[in-house]
Chain A
């Protein structure tokens, strides 16, 4: 049963602390996307990778957010330092470029609360 996994599922932290979220894409998928869901903005694309190379991180606050793919089975999203306005659900998704409609498969999300 191939699925995208994300850890942790929930994270509560204090302002100023570093937060690291992890994602394991579906085996064989070589595009990985990070989204943030908030009530106001819906699903915002933060960054995406193809074959582990970052292609677009224009949606990410550069001063505090960073996204990497150390290997094909792991993507990370870090926030340092975290702020209360970063509280949201963060989703990772993976896909296969050139698929018929760019379908993406989402993980269950990490709910982040910054106090």
Chain B
């Protein structure tokens, strides 16, 4: 049973436009949500996080929105740049329980010139 779901395996966006990556979760006990970015032949790297007590966190071109009632979060990238082409993993953790992070299957983002 997948606790973190990314239902779009891939997404193509024109350079300069907004990229929106979506993620749903099932476990209401998660208290932190993270996004990781992965380039080919490299390990995932941390991008941005949000606590469950917030509904928005912004870092430069990247903003994560959290809707707890819908158990949904999204990552917005504005404006999208060619270097943003990568696989993006949504992840969740339950800090008070253990050290684990539960990852989604990832969404491959293509930024088109």
Contact = CB atoms under 8 A, between A and B. Distances in A.
Nearest to A111: B41
A32 B70 CA distance: 32
B88 to A, nearest CB: 11
B42 A108 contact: yes
A32 B68 CA distance: 30
Given A91-B44, A106-B45, A107-B43, A56 B89 contact: no
A93 B98 contact: no
Given A91-B43, A101-B49, A106-B44, A41 B100 contact: no
B52 to A, nearest CB: 10
Given A55-B98, A102-B93, A103-B34, A42 B42 contact: no
Give chain B's interface residue range (CB within 8 Å of chain A).
20 to 34
Give chain A's interface residue range (CB within 8 Å of chain B).
20 to 34
A101 B34 contact: yes
A104 interface: yes
Contacts of B45: 106
Contacts of B46: 103-105
A41 B89 CA distance: 12
B43 A31 contact: no
A25 interface: no
A29 to B, nearest CB: 11
Contact of B95 (A101, A106, A109): A101
Nearest to A104: B101
A5 to B, nearest CB: 11
Given A43-B103, A56-B98, A102-B100, 8 more contacts: A43-B89, A45-B103, A48-B100, A98-B95, A103-B34, A103-B49, A106-B45, A109-B42
Interface of A: 4, 31, 33, 35, 41-43, 45, 48, 50, 55-56, 91, 93, 95, 97-98, 100-109
Interface of B: 6, 32, 34, 36, 41-46, 49, 51, 89, 93, 95, 98-106
Top 3 closest A-B pairs, CB basis?
A106-B43, A42-B105, A43-B103
